[in-house]
């Protein structure tokens, strides 16, 4: 009897997850609505906030299984700060926008256009933000600072200017990759009609037959969009998830990712050459 009851409860949890997934404006997987719902049980027990101990999320009774070490820090930090959530990504800033939604009337079969409001992501951070903040940034800033103090500061003015510009682009591109929306897709319960230009979403320009159903996020998606199991969202132009930058790489941050990779290679070569031939460009020797 206990086993059967557990199976029934598990089915109810899955059904509740599906409902929460459908309620989101974005194409997200079956995750909790807030970070507090994913906080580990030991943290909720030790917390002074009684609200942490309530069973208000479908993962709460199985937190040890679902809130693993990878996302436990995010759940604790962002949950305490009250940061929003989309999939396994944290919403640092967002606004709203108006858009036209096409809905097919079940009685007449005609397309009805409705003006609606939806959230627009401005700044988000991926699930590997801890790697980005505590490893990637300190590594770049630490090495750059060491090179600047011992080599660049004693070099020719042209070396100082070019090296500073390269380092600035390196850090800025990493910031933009880490905090920009990678291209999280809005939820589409129906495939957009062909040549639909009423919606400001660029993905609607794709022919309807190019859209495919995605079970994980319960949405239609264009052919170039993929579901990222680590970020738990559908990303347009998805390439990969990069732990070093902390987030997924998609259509909206791909340019910055290419700049970042290029600047890493350029600055590595620049630093090696500067270390080898710094005496030739030292005006103080």
Same domain, 88 and 206: yes
Q: For the chain, how many helices (H) and strands (E)?
A: 8, 9
Contact 153/220 with Cβ under 8 angstroms?
no
Which of the pair, 64 or 231, is modelled with greater confidence?
231
Q: Which of 17-26, 216-225, 250-259 has the lowest mean pLDDT?
A: 17-26
Exposed, middle or buried, 135 (CB in 10 Å: 0-12/13-18/19+)? middle
Q: What are phi and psi of 216, to 5 degrees?
A: -60, -40
Same domain, 16 and 78: yes
Same domain, 152 and 173: yes
Same domain, 50 and 108: yes
Same domain, 218 and 238: no
Same domain, 190 and 69: yes
Which of the pair, 40 or 249, is modelled with greater confidence?
249
pLDDT at 256: 97
What total number of domains does the chain contain?
2
pTM, rounded to two decimals: 0.77
Give the tens place of pLDDT for each residue, 76-132.
999 999 999 999 999 999 999 988 877 777 777 777 788 889 999 999 999 999 999
Give the tens place of pLDDT for each residue, 162-213.
999 999 999 999 999 999 999 999 998 888 766 554 454 555 455 555 899 9
Give the tens place of pLDDT for each residue, 228-257.
999 999 999 999 999 999 999 999 999 999
Q: Given the DSSP bridges, would you call strands 211-214 and 219-222 parallel, antiparallel or unpaired? A: antiparallel
Tokens matching residue 105: 């009337």
Same domain, 49 and 119: yes
Overall size of the chain counted in residues = 285
Q: Which domain holds residue 79?
A: 2-125+186-224
The whole-angstrom separation of Cα 183 and Cα 247 is 11
Among the candidates 176, 201, 224, a domain finishes at 224
pLDDT at 43: 77
Same domain, 7 and 74: yes
Same domain, 192 and 260: no
Same domain, 82 and 50: yes
Average pLDDT value for the chain? 80
């Amino acid at each position: 009897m206990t086993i059967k009851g557990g199976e029934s409860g598990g089915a109810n949890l899955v059904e509740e997850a599906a409902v929460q997934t459908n309620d989101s404006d974005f194409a997200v997987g079956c995750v909790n609505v807030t970070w507090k719902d994913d906080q580990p049980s030991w943290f909720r027990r030790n917390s002074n906030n009684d609200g942490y101990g309530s069973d208000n999320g479908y993962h709460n009774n199985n937190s040890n299984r679902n809130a693993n070490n990878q996302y436990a820090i995010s759940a604790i930090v962002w949950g305490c700060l009250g940061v929003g959530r989309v999939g396994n990504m944290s919403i640092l800033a967002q606004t709203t926008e108006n858009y036209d939604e096409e809905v097919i009337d079940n009685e007449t079969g005609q397309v009805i256009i409705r003006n609606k409001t939806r959230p627009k992501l401005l700044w988000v951070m991926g699930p590997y933000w801890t790697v980005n903040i505590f490893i990637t940034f300190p590594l770049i800033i630490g090495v750059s600072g060491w090179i600047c103090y011992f080599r660049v500061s004693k070099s020719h003015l042209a070396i100082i200017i070019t090296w500073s510009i390269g380092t600035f682009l390196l850090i800025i591109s990493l910031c933009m990759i880490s905090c920009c929306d990678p291209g999280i897709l809005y939820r589409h319960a129906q495939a957009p009609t062909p040549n639909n230009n009423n919606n400001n979403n660029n993905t609607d320009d794709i022919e309807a037959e190019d859209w495919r159903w995605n079970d994980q996020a319960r949405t239609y998606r264009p052919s170039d969009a993929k579901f990222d199991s680590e970020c738990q969202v559908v990303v347009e132009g998805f390439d990969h998830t990069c732990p070093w930058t902390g987030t997924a790489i998609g259509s909206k941050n791909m340019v910055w990712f290419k700049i970042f990779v290029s600047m890493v290679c350029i600055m590595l070569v620049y630093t090696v050459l500067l270390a080898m031939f710094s005496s030739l460009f030292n005006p103080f020797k």
